Amino acid sequence: MISIHNIKAIAFDLDGTIYYGNQAIDGAAETIEYLKNKGIKVFYFTNNSTKTREQIYSKLKGMGLDLSLDTVYTSAYATAFYCKESQLDSVYCIGSDGLISELNGHGISTNNEKVKAVIVGLDFNINYDKIATALLHLQNGCKLINCNQDKNYPVEGGRLMPGCGAMTAAISGAYDKDIDFIVGKPNTYMIELLANKHGYGNKDILVVGDSLDSDIEMANRFGCKSILVTKDNSIKQFRNCF
């Protein structure tokens, strides 16, 4: 049994915890409902840098989860928020339409004029020109910020596909510069953003995820409780903890 005394909110990882690809994990919607009925506020957070929070919200809705938009945290959303609060109002973005949409929605220009930072997310169309343009901006003194450092991600059949970290490695490999800021897990920026926006302290939040290196490491750095879910001990069994 896990004591939920003083736990006010649970932050669920998505991939491998709530769903696999487009398939909800058995028992996810029922578990979320059960926790909400216990008075626990439920949040969702993902390193996914290709989708807006609206897109993730719609996906979860489509899986039968009852949620509100402001409970969804993606690394694309958090990156846009970081740029806004850091006054990086014009950026060069290597990333998906979802990331660009989040940046523009936060008032960050992606028109490549007076660029202050190079933003790197997962980009399915990365090419030599984009890396060369990023390099030029770094030469001119721009900051290098990436959505997360995930080297790869698994798809059907266990094949690994290059992740956001691979995009950044292509750029940093071309120029001797450290990354100035990493937004996603296991860094604590996203969970701090959640805590600050909703008025929680670290002792109020429980993190649930399927990655030791990402979810649980982030929870440890933040100083909150965490639970690791696995295929044999999934979100369905997790309900029995309470």
**Residues found near Mg ion in the complex (CB under 5 A):** 13, 15-16, 210-211
Provide the minimum distance between the beta carbon of 18 and Mg ion in the complex, in angstroms, as a whole number: 9
Shortest Å distance, C-beta 211 to Mg ion: 5
Backbone angles phi, psi at 167, to 5 degrees: -65, -45
Cα 87 vs. chain centroid, distance in angstroms?
Answer: 21
Rank residues 108 and 210 by Cβ distance to Mg ion and give the closer one.
210
- The beta strand positions in 9-71, using DSSP E, are 9-13, 19-20, 23-24, 41-46
- Between 13 and 102, name the residue whose CB sits nearer to Mg ion: 13
* 123 vs 150 by CB, closer to Mg ion: 150
**Shortest Å distance, C-beta 179 to Mg ion:** 22
Minimum CB distance to Mg ion, residue 154 (Å): 10
Nearer to Mg ion, 15 or 33 (CB): 15
E-strand stretches of the chain = 9-13, 19-20, 23-24, 41-46, 72-74, 91-94, 117-120, 143-146, 152-154, 160-162, 181-182, 205-209, 225-228
Toward Mg ion, which CB reaches closer, 102 or 210? 210
If you write DSSP's letter for every residue of 72-84 in order, what string do you get?
EEEHHHHHHHHHH
Kindly state the smallest distance separating residue 62's Cβ from Mg ion, in Å. 19
Q: Which residue's C-beta sits nearest to Mg ion?
A: 16
Cα pseudo-dihedral 212, 218, 223, 227, rounded to 10? -40
Instruction: Tell me the CB-side half-sphere exposure of residue 90, using CA atoms within 13 A.
Output: 7
